C-alpha cells in the first residue's frame, strides 16, 4: 500500500500573491456529539381531547407528536400520542400530563383519563452510522480513497486517506471522481508532479485540507484560500471543480494560469451546461469528456502560444 496526499477541497493550482490566505493552522477533528438519552412518552387519550393534549406537550418542549389508534381500541374513540423527550425530562412531563388529563376529565366526563407510560428509546450509534457512509472507493485505474478507520492494502493503487469531516471532496460525488480520473491536484502530488498548489474560496476548509495532506506525508503541497484571480504563475495542469456559473464567470482567470500546451480540467457542470461552459473558453480544444450522469468533466487543451 502506498500512502498518498489527500485533501478536502476542489483545487485550482498556482503561485500566489498576498491576496490569498495560507492554510497554516492545524485542524482539530471533532468527535460526533454524544446523543442524549431519550424517552418515548405514550399517552392514551380520548380522541376529542387529543388536540388539547398535543398542544400541551408541544408547549412543554416536545418537537413532534405521533398520533395513532390506541392498540386494541380502534374505533373506540381513543388515540395513542407519542412524544420523544430527553430522559431527564420524562418523569416531570409525565406527571404534568397526568394532572392535565384529570383536569380535562373534569371538563368533560367522556374524556376519561388514560394511561401515561414512559418507554426508553433505543440509543443510536451515530458514529457507526456516519462511518458506514464512508467506505474505501476505487477511482479510475490507480487511485483509491479511504477513510482513516478503513484503509485497505490494495496492491497497484495509490491510497488517498481522507478524513471526511464537514467539507466536499471525499470522492463520493461524481464530479470529484471524474476530476481524480483526470489526475486532480491532490492525487498528482504523488503521481509524478513535482509541484502542486491548491486553493479554495472557503477558508474554513483549509485546516482540514492541510491535516489531510500531512496525514498522507504530502505537506509540501501549497494550500491557500482565495479566488483564482489572485493566482500568479502558469501551470501545466489546472483543475477547477466548481459550479458551471462560476466556471463561466472565472473563465479568463482560469485560462490565465494555464501554461502553453497545458490542460484545464473543468468539473461541476451538468450535461446540459457543457455548451455554455465551452463557449466561455474560445480557442481551446476539447481533449476529453468524462461522464457520470448527469455530471460532466471536461479536459480542455491549450495550443502552444
pLDDT digits (tens, 9 = 90+) for 218-272: 888 888 888 888 888 888 889 898 899 999 999 999 999 999 988 999 999 999 9
pLDDT score for 30: 46
3-class SS of residue 70: coil
Tell me which fold the domain 38-120 belongs to: Alpha-Beta Plaits (3.30.70)
Distances (CA, A) of 106 to 13, 43, 102, 246, 303: 75, 18, 6, 66, 88
Per-residue pLDDT at 118: 93
Task: Give the count of alpha carbons within 13 A of 27, CB side only.
Answer: 24
For the beta carbon of residue 81, count every other beta carbon within 10 angstroms. 23
d(CA 102, CA 112): 8
What average pLDDT does this structure show over 148-164?
87
Q: How confident is the model at residue 304 (pLDDT cuts 50, 70, 90)?
A: low
The answer, yes or no, to whether residue 9 has pLDDT greater than 50, is no
- Is 158 in contact with 142 (CB distance < 8 Å)? yes
Kindly state the percentage of the chain with pLDDT values over 90.
33
All residues at 6 or more sequence positions from 29 whose CB lies less than 8 Å from its CB, including other chains = 163, 165, 208, 211
- Using CA atoms, how far residue 270 sits from 59, 281, 291, 293, in Å, is 46, 17, 9, 8
Q: Given this model, what pLDDT does residue 195 score?
A: 79
CB 171 within 8 A of CB 145: yes
Q: With a cut of 90, say whether residue 285 has pLDDT above it.
A: yes
How far is CA 61 from its chain centroid? 30
Q: Which three cell numbers stand for residue 44?
A: 392514551
Mean pLDDT value of segment 115-119: 92
The CATH number given to 2-32+128-301 is: 3.40.50.150
Q: Where in the chain is the domain with CATH 3.30.70.120?
A: 38-120
Supply the pLDDT for residue 254.
Answer: 95
The ranges of the chain annotated as CATH 3.40.50.150 are 2-32+128-301
d(CA 189, CA 43): 61
Residues 62 and 45: beta-carbon distance below 8 Å: no
pLDDT of residue 6: 27
Amino acid at each position: 500500500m502506498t500512502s498518498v496526499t489527500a485533501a478536502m477541497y476542489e483545487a485550482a493550482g498556482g503561485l500566489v500573491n498576498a491576496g490569498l490566505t495560507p492554510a497554516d493552522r492545524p485542524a482539530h477533528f471533532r468527535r460526533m456529539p454524544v446523543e442524549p438519552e431519550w424517552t418515548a412518552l405514550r399517552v392514551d387519550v380520548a380522541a376529542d381531547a387529543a388536540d388539547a393534549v398535543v398542544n400541551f406537550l408541544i408547549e412543554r418542549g416536545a418537537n413532534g407528536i405521533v398520533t395513532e389508534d390506541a392498540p386494541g381500541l380502534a374505533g373506540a374513540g381513543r388515540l395513542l400520542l407519542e412524544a420523544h423527550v430527553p430522559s431527564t425530562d420524562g418523569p416531570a412531563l409525565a406527571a404534568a400530563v397526568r394532572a392535565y388529563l384529570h383536569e380535562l376529565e373534569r371538563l368533560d366526563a367522556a374524556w376519561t383519563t388514560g394511561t401515561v407510560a414512559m418507554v426508553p428509546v433505543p440509543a443510536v450509534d451515530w458514529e457507526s452510522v456516519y462511518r458506514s457512509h464512508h467506505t474505501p472507493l476505487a477511482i479510475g485505474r490507480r487511485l483509491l480513497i479511504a477513510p482513516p478507520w478503513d484503509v485497505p492494502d490494495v496492491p497497484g493503487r495509490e491510497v488517498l486517506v481522507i478524513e471526511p469531516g464537514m467539507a466536499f471532496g471525499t470522492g463520493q460525488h461524481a464530479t470529484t471522481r471524474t476530476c481524480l480520473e483526470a489526475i486532480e491536484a491532490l492525487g498528482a502530488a504523488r503521481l509524478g508532479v513535482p509541484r502542486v498548489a491548491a486553493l479554495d474560496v472557503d477558508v474554513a476548509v483549509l485546516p482540514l485540507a492541510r491535516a489531510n495532506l500531512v496525514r498522507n506525508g504530502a505537506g509540501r503541497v501549497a494550500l491557500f484560500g482565495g479566488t483564482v484571480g489572485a493566482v500568479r504563475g502558469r501551470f501545466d495542469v489546472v483543475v477547477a471543480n466548481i459550479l458551471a456559473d462560476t466556471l463561466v464567470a472565472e473563465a479568463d482567470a482560469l485560462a490565465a494560469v494555464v501554461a502553453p500546451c497545458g490542460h484545464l480540467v473543468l468539473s461541476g457542470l451538468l450535461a446540459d451546461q457543457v455548451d455554455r461552459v465551452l463557449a466561455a473558453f474560445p480557442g481551446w480544444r476539447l481533449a476529453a469528456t468524462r461522464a457520470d450522469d448527469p455530471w460532466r468533466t471536461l479536459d480542455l487543451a491549450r495550443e502552444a502560444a
